[in-house]
Structure 1
């Protein structure tokens, strides 16, 4: 009887190890410096790091979001070019349309609005948000599958836009920028949910 129990335990252990090995084999990871989506994220972060801040929340929010939106558009263009999933391609098209329109709006705002406020705390907080966003992106598991990497990285990208927009609502004064911040929060929270649902349906693969 004891020998039978030992045999059963041995079979269970072998089965567990085999299952773990199978799951480990299914997890694919691509180095970040070889990943196209991550390359776009790093280029965007580098541009924001060199942005000359004015200490005016409305101006700095507009300048930051122009760079941030362009990063999303570049990622979406890569998804359309190299992705294969119809849902992700559709979301990419929607992101390009909405964020290009907002780039046009912030560019017009910056041409017509002279920085006049002095709120260094806003600049410090918005740069801190972007630093955290960059670190979070570098912690993501990406695998070289364009559809997967687009979805997983856009979640973090959108989250940082939402956080920056909430800061604009607290510190900004210009109605047009505060309206844009509200629209960004509403639209991108919905898109975050869509990306998350898509990833969960695929088992995050």
Structure 2
């Protein structure tokens, strides 16, 4: 089960994404783009931890619970690692100047990635991943935030766009970042989250959501 020393899980999967979007939007890009990447990625991983905690508390499918357990622990470790990276960068600001074409391009990539953090983006992609009945087209976004009635399907369907956003952020850091430890972390994030996407996509294929 999830670590009881951590904050309790959110009320719904979408609530975790709303929190991620709000916290990410509040982050100032500043001039240190590696720091901005680390802060955005930390919010992303915190959301994965929250979503997995809710699945572990209320989910039913044994295979998905196993996946959620692995994701919970892996992403909590990543949060702690990003905490350390952020402290390191803030304590020792880099000597390079960010007013370059490269840094401007990274800034644009990160800003584009933050658009994918918005819960509406996750909601729309989840409809494709889990089928048209996964989130009722006749419901308002507020009603859809309550989910489908199946925590398992909500978790699997929303985890795909959530992780796709992480991959976008990681690719931006790999291509244009300058902090070597963060670039190494980005490589493993990209690799591991692609694998996690594949796992939940297999589960979604094997467990199609039935219409209401």
Please show how residues 103-142 of structure 1 align to structure 2 within 5 Å: 103-113=79-89, 114-116=92-94, 117-118=97-98, 119-134=103-118, 135-139=120-124, 140-141=126-127, 142=135
Please show how residues 177-188 of structure 1 align to structure 2 within 5 Å: 177-188=182-193
Structure with more of its chain in helix, by fraction: 1
Question: Which structure 2 residue ranges, 5 or more long, are not aligned?
Answer: 1-10, 128-134, 136-147
How many residues align? The count is 171
Residue 53 (structure 1) shift? 1.7
CA distance in 2, matches of 1:188, 1:201: 20
CA distance in 1, matches of 2:149, 2:178: 42
The answer to whether the aligner puts 1:192 opposite 2:197 as a matched pair is: yes
Counterpart selection for 2:46 from 70, 79, 82: 70
The normalised TM-score by structure 1 is 0.78
Residue 155 (structure 1) shift? 0.4
Larger Rg: 1
CA distance in 2, matches of 1:92, 1:102: 15
CA distance in 2, matches of 1:115, 1:93: 36
Residue 121 (structure 1) shift? 3.2
Please show how residues 24-63 of structure 1 align to structure 2 within 5 Å: 36-63=12-39
Q: Deviations over 1:17-36 (max 9, x none)?
A: xxxxxxxxxxxxxxxxxx81
Question: Which structure 1 residue ranges, 5 or more long, are not aligned?
Answer: 1-34
C-alpha contact (below 8 Å) 1:55/1:122 kept by paired residues: no
Q: What root-mean-square deviation, in Å, do the aligned CA atoms of Structure 1 and Structure 2 show?
A: 1.6
